[in-house]
Chains A and B, each alone.
Chain A
Amino acid sequence: MDKEFQFSVVDPKDSAQEMDAVRALLAANQLELDLHNQVWVVCHVRGRLVACAGLDHNVIKCVAVSKEFRGESLSLRLGSEVIALAAQRGYFHLFLYSPPHNRELFQGWGFYPLVEVSELVVLMENSPIAIKRYYESLQIQKRPGDRIGCMVLNANPFTLGHRFLVETAASECDWLHVFVVKEDASAFSYADRFSLVADGVKDISRLALHEGSDYIISRATFPGYFLKEKETIDRSWAAIDLLLFREYIAPALGITHRYVGTEPLDPVTNNYNADMKYWLEKASSPANSICVVEVPRVSIKGMPISASRVRGFLAQGDLEAIRHLVPKTTLEFLERHYSGVGVAQA
């Protein structure tokens, strides 16, 4: 009977003292405390913190077990508690970030490695087959051709800038695969963004539109993309997303070229594009390299068309200013849903 292990769930906002103890335990394990974890599972023995694990939506991070309890079932109990907590919060497909040397520990938790940024971090998921099933579901959508392009859009909302990007890419490729980022973390819901993209590209031939997933610019693969404070982005996270793309998604669809728009206004996307060139083209990997093609943003009156500008005008209720920035399909949608009503800036 191990009544000595007391597990509890902690909200970091309410427990400064607890978080201090967590920070110390993590530091002793060469880990930093990730402030984005919404909730933590902690374990105490006679009032002393001996283990912790953080949960950020469907991603487990910052797992540490005090040295004196390593190798015992404490780690498995911790894993069970985190998994049950995630389930209570509605998350069943879980991801986990770990230093590579802890891979085996988490394999005991039922997590399987997806991609590793050598010696830095490994991304794992709680299924031995999920990525394989995803790969197979993409594979059956492979299209013929030598130059197969791919682009990933958030499209928040779909603008003429996006349209130009898609048209350009499609014209240069035998087929173009377009993915829409699936997370509901933007001003416009995924459902709306997807349908705006679908309407906005439906006349373009040799284009295959795909739903986003946990495996492509998601909270699991690229948490930095969804942060409000755009300045403090850990660059190594982009590597995870890009390596997943290069090692699983691209081979499934036979993708040879990745298209991105240049982004002078958004530092996150700018850095991401730079990382893209490194991880898709240069970094060593068992998978083929992918060519990155940067397409300059289209401008109107010297200013690049960007979704953030559109949202800015929308917040002011200025639909007239948006007229020249978005295709008819997007404008009609905005008029139906937002006329006279401001929308929050994402």
Chain B
Amino acid sequence: MKTRRSMLFVPGDNPAMLSTAFVYKPDSVMFDLEDAVSPREKDSARLLVFHALGLPAYKDIERVVRINRLDSEYGLKDLEAAIRGRADVVRLPKTDSADDIHELESHVARLEKECSRPVGETKLIAAIESASGVVNALAIATSSQRMAAIALAGFDYLVDMQTSRSGGSEPELFYARAAIVHAARVAHIDAFDVVYGNVDDEEGFLREVQIAKQLGFNGKSLIHPRQVDLLHRAYAPTQKELDHAQRVIAAADAAHRNGQGVVALDGKMIDPPVVKEAELILSRVYAS
């Protein structure tokens, strides 16, 4: 099970950041060819990302490439660079329907064949940025075996909804967040919360992280390296939670070794969901 708490956005046109993002130890790094790159620089950034994907420093970090929309003049070329560069995941912006994923998937499969990668190896993340996307979240999340996660992109979504962020409890994001998390759970994939743009506001960031975590989001899209560590700490289990989780896992392992069908701990039966929860907790152990 791949741990996905932090997805750090890195502008695809910035060689300094492309080569140093690994230092912050995010779970995933997203090389961005879309919003971070001006039209003038799309071709050059594509090549930077293509080569950056091969840097040994990213050996143990999940490498995601955010391509431009497929109906733009850049999208398919970005996809070529991503697949041939052996990215782990492709993130599709502005996913409005399952068809968007199907279209992407057929191109990905073709490219995997062309560059001799195992077909099915590249995973996908759908970014939901509109009302349509939210309403179709379940269909999108279950549209393909390749789906690794579904992410909510707040800014564009709120523009589409004809509103804006209010700060505080933000009712304007509630439905979208709930829809995305539900879709993720049904599809057994991860859910990512929105980007927090005010990089200087640590408190605000942490408040939002708590909300997202409480709703069940696995992680968050991050736009600044300093957010990585803050997020990892916020998701870290308490010692009590950790101890309990470790005991649950130990009990499950013991039962498995002894060929027993039922897992028991402290005289109580442990259902499979509890074991899953324990695995999740262990995956979020904070390591500096």
Contacts and interface: CB of A to CB of B under 8 A. Distances in A.
A84 B40 contact: yes
B40 A1 contact: no
Interface string B205-236: 00000000000000000011000000000000
Interface in A1-39: 1
A84 B39 CA distance: 12
Contacts of B224: 1
A118 interface: no
A84 B40 CA distance: 9
Contacts of B223: 1
Nearest to A1: B224
B274 interface: no
Contacts of A1: 199, 223-224
A88 interface: yes
Given A1-B223, A1-B224, A88 B40 contact: yes
A1 B223 CA distance: 9
B46 to A, nearest CB: 16
A88 B38 CA distance: 13
A83 to B, nearest CB: 12
A259 to B, nearest CB: 47
Interface residues of B, number: 4
Interface in A79-124: 84, 88
Interface in B177-204: 199
A84 B45 CA distance: 14
A250 B199 CA distance: 59
Interface of B: 40, 199, 223-224
Nearest to B223: A1
A88 B40 CA distance: 9
5 contacts: A1-B199, A1-B223, A1-B224, A84-B40, A88-B40
B271 to A, nearest CB: 45
Contacts of A88: 40
Nearest to A3: B199
Contacts of B199: 1
A71 to B, nearest CB: 18
Contacts of A84: 40
A1 B11 CA distance: 10
A171 to B, nearest CB: 55
A1 B195 CA distance: 14
Contacts of B40: 84, 88
Nearest to A85: B40
A1 B17 CA distance: 9
A88 B41 CA distance: 11
Nearest to B225: A1
A84 B199 CA distance: 29
B258 to A, nearest CB: 53
Nearest to A73: B16
A241 to B, nearest CB: 33
A98 to B, nearest CB: 26
A87 to B, nearest CB: 9
Nearest to B226: A1
B32 to A, nearest CB: 12
Nearest to A88: B40
B101 to A, nearest CB: 30
A88 B39 CA distance: 12
A314 B40 CA distance: 45
A1 B224 CA distance: 7
Nearest to B41: A84
A37 B199 CA distance: 37
Nearest to B38: A84
What are the 5 closest A-B residue pairs judged by CB atoms, nearest first? A1-B224, A84-B40, A1-B199, A88-B40, A1-B223
B13 to A, nearest CB: 11
A1 B24 CA distance: 14
Nearest to B9: A1
A80 to B, nearest CB: 10
B226 to A, nearest CB: 10
B21 to A, nearest CB: 12
Interface string A51-84: 0000000000000000000000000000000001
